Amino acid sequence: MTPSPRPLLVALALAACVLVGTAACGSGDGAGTAAAQGGEVASGRVTVDGATIDWPANPRVAAVRMVVRNGTGTPDVLRSVSSPVAETVTVHRTDTDAQGRSVMTEQAELAIPARSSVTFEPGGLHVMLTGITRDLEVGDDVELTLTFEHAGVVDATAEVVEPGASGTGGDGSGGTHDH
Ligand SMILES: [Cu+2]
């Protein structure tokens, strides 16, 4: 009837670690901010570079390649993406399961760490357009609107390109990305 006290003790110990960790992190962050005032942060903004869309074999679904750069000293979170040409835009991550199959999971909130970049491409982390409302042709520009927790709304334009033209070497899965 008497519950073992160990789980509680472990929980308290963990809580203490978290508190200590947070305090340490807070002071470290302060030092980083001071250093950043010396001009370390180049852009000081969140930007989207090199956005392209592989011309979709399936006219209703397409994946966006791009690099999101967080040039600020604040970790940010990508909360949503939208586009006028798609009914739904979702951030997905493709992983390989134990059986070697590709599995896509939705990333409802994606962390973009301070002073770093996150690459989106088919076969990895990607932005997926579904329910595309008009025919996309190579050379078309597609507007994207990204909403971040701190940076707010960032607009980008993705050019529709021939599959494989972006030069990132494909997704390594033999071209069988099955959207
Ligand atoms: Cu996907």
Condensed to tens digits (0 to 9), the pLDDT of residues 16-64 reads 333 333 333 333 333 333 333 333 345 789 999 999 999 877 888 999 9
Q: 73 lies in a domain?
A: yes
- Ligand 1 geometric centre to CA of 152 (Å): 24
Structure tokens belonging to residue 69: 């750069």
- Ligand 1 mean position to 163 CA, how many Å? 16
Q: 88 with 115, same domain? A: yes
Its domain, for residue 6, covers 1-40
Q: From ligand 1's centre to the CA of 93, what distance in Å?
A: 7
| Residues 154 and 72 placed together within one structural domain of the fold | yes
Q: How far is the CA of 105 from the centre of ligand 1 (A)?
A: 8
CA distance 45 to 119: 17
Q: Which residues contact 123 (CB under 8 A, 6 or more apart)?
A: 94, 102, 170, 171, 172, 173, 177
Q: How far apart are the C-alpha atoms of 57 and 133, rounded to whole Å?
A: 15
CA of 23 to the centre of ligand 1 (A): 38
Residues 34 and 59 in one domain: no
Judge whether residue 15 has pLDDT over 90: no
Domain-embedded: residue 52: yes
Claim to verify: residue 80 and residue 126 sit in the same structural domain: yes
Distance 108 CA to ligand 1 centre (A): 13
Residue 10 lies in a domain: yes
Distance between Cα 128 and ligand 1 center (Å):
5
CA of 179 to the centre of ligand 1 (A): 6
Q: How far is the CA of 94 from the centre of ligand 1 (A)?
A: 7
Q: What mean pLDDT is predicted for residues 135-154?
A: 96
Residues 73 and 137 grouped into a single domain: yes
| Residue 80 within a domain | yes
117 and 92 inside one domain: yes
CA dist 114 and 70 (Å) reads 6
Q: Does 176 fall in a domain?
A: no
pLDDT confidence of 166, banded at 50, 70, 90?
A: low
Q: Distance, CA 122 to ligand 1 centroid (Å)?
A: 8
Q: What is the rounded CA–CA span in Å between residue 177 and residue 57?
A: 11
3-state secondary structure of 28: helix
Residue 169 lies in a domain: no
CA of 131 to the centre of ligand 1 (A): 13
CATH number for 133? 2.60.40.1890
- Residue 14 CA, ligand 1 centroid: distance in Å: 36
**51 close to 158: Cβ distance less than 8 angstroms:** yes
Distance CA(134)–CA(14), nearest Å, equals: 53
Ligand 1 centroid to Cα of residue 118, in Å, is 16
pLDDT, tens only, 55-92: 877 888 999 999 999 999 999 999 999 999 999 999 99
Q: Which residues pair with 53 in a beta bridge?
A: 64, 160
What's the number of domains the chain is made of? 2
